[in-house]
Amino acid sequence: MPEMPEVEAVCRRIRPHVTGRTIERARLPRPGTAAGPAADEIERWLPGKRIGRVLRRGKNILLYLAGKPIPWRAVQVHLRMTGDLEIAPDARLLPAGARMILELGARRALVFNDPRALGRVRLLTPDQVRQMCASLGPEPLAAAFTIERLAAEARSCRKPVKLFLLDQERIAGIGNIYAAEILHASRIHPRRPANALSKPRLALLHAAIRNIMSRAVQSASAVYGEPGRWGEDEFPLLVYGRESEPCARCGRSIRRIPQAGRSTYYCPGCQR
DNA sequence: CACAATACCTGCTAGC
DNA sequence: TGCTAGCAGGTATTGT
């Protein structure tokens, strides 16, 4: 159930084990995993290809294929809610939720495990790689994500700021948990329209996005190698999942409200 | 066009 | 103990 920091941790964890390795066999045993082309074409086409760089864009993982094969240039994996990539010592004895297995030789396999089966795998042409990257907003930790850029995105968005933060086309990588934490850190009410944020509040929001996301990347990456553990275990969540508990900052009782069918947690005392 | 509601799946847990 | 409703860190698609 990863947001950008956990996806980044997954990339760092698998990178040394897959870079430069040749795919000997690919298996997508359950229907619905492939989002194009079809599973049997992916299984037929990948063997013999070598994995090059492992990159992340937003919450997407890209396994580039070395030697620029035609037509497909990269394997795209989106973990959605419950996906994870693991290095298995053996392609046998797989977890029940295994949705893709890339056998890499030397008793090593990359396994896409996803019990809830919402995650997706695609092969992308160079054009599709560019389209996917271009369709997403700036990376929150990149230099291009300035206060001015945030202000420009917010100005053109009338949605509640919580939903603005979740919009991957405006900023890439923020999810439900960190959106709540970011708004608490910047003392902004989640229902405030994005285009109603003042200059000073946008500056606070920008600082909170960078602060929360960079600390989350650090803590998520620090626990890699411990199966089933996400960075949030180490990252103190001040509002998310804390309905009815006292706010650490002002003591008021934290509230949970629905927004776009999902839970938003916030403090009615210090978020205005 | 912008936004809201729903669909997609399985597993866990709080409450009866 | 055993059942069930509700909820879960995401996003494509459909409807207004």
Q: Is A169 exposed, middle or buried (0-12, 13-18, 19+ CB in 10 A)?
A: exposed
- pLDDT for res A228: 52
Distance, CA of A215 to C1' of C9, in Å:
16
* The pLDDT of residue A251: 94
Q: Does residue A24 have a pLDDT over 70? A: yes
Nucleotides of C under 7 A from a protein CB: 7-12
Q: How far does the CA of A112 sit from the C1' of C15, in Å?
A: 34
Copy the structure tokens of residue A170.
């405006």
What average pLDDT score do residues A153-181 get? 95
Res. A97: pLDDT tops 90: no
For the segment A134-146, the average pLDDT, to the nearest whole number, is 95
Residue A192, pLDDT > 70, answer yes
Residue A95 clears pLDDT 90, i.e. is over it: no
**How far does CA A1 lie from the centroid of its chain?**
8
Measured N-to-C along each axis, helices A4-18 and A199-222 cross at an angle, to the nearest 10 degrees, of 40
Which nucleotide is closest to the Cα of A136 by its C1'?
C11
Residue A91 above 70 pLDDT?
no
Q: What is the mean pLDDT of chain A?
A: 92
| Residue tagged active-site, from A44, A107, A116, A262 | A262
Evaluate if the CB of A97 falls below 7 Å from strand B.
Answer: yes
Q: What token pair was written down for A189?
A: 């009410």
Mean pLDDT calculated for residue range A171-177: 95
Nearest to A191 by CA among A161, A235, A156: A161
Which pLDDT score is estimated for A94? 78
Q: Give pLDDT tens digits for A211-225.
A: 999 999 999 888 765
The reply to whether omega before A71 is within 30° of 0 (cis) is: yes
Residue A113 banded pLDDT, cuts 50, 70, 90: very high
pLDDT in tens, A261-272: 999 999 999 999
Q: Can A243 be counted among the known catalytic residues? A: no
Asked whether the bond before A37 is cis by omega within 30 degrees of 0, the reply is yes
The two three-digit tokens of residue A27, written as one number: 């298996």
Q: What is the pLDDT of residue A171?
A: 96
Residues facing A262 on adjacent strands: A259
Tell me, what's the pLDDT at A1? 57
- At residue A90, the pLDDT reads 72
Angle formed by the axes of helices A176-185 and A199-222, nearest 10°: 130
Q: What is the pLDDT of residues A224-263, one digit of tens each?
A: 655 555 655 678 999 999 999 999 999 999 999 999 999 9
Q: What is the pTM of this model?
A: 0.95
From the CA of A106, how many Å to the C1' of B7? 41
User: Residues A72-78: what's their mean pLDDT?
Assistant: 97
User: Which one, of A76, A114, A120, lies nearest residue A95 by Cα?
Assistant: A114
Candidate from A90-99, A134-143, A161-170 with smallest mean pLDDT: A90-99
Q: Is the CB of A260 under 7 A from strand B?
A: yes
Exactly one of A2, A5, A140, A190 is catalytic; which is it? Answer: A2
Model confidence at A96, pLDDT cuts 50, 70, 90, reads confident
Nucleotide nearest to A260 (CA to C1'): B4
The residue-averaged pLDDT of A176-199 equals: 96
**What is the pLDDT averaged over residues A64-83?**
96
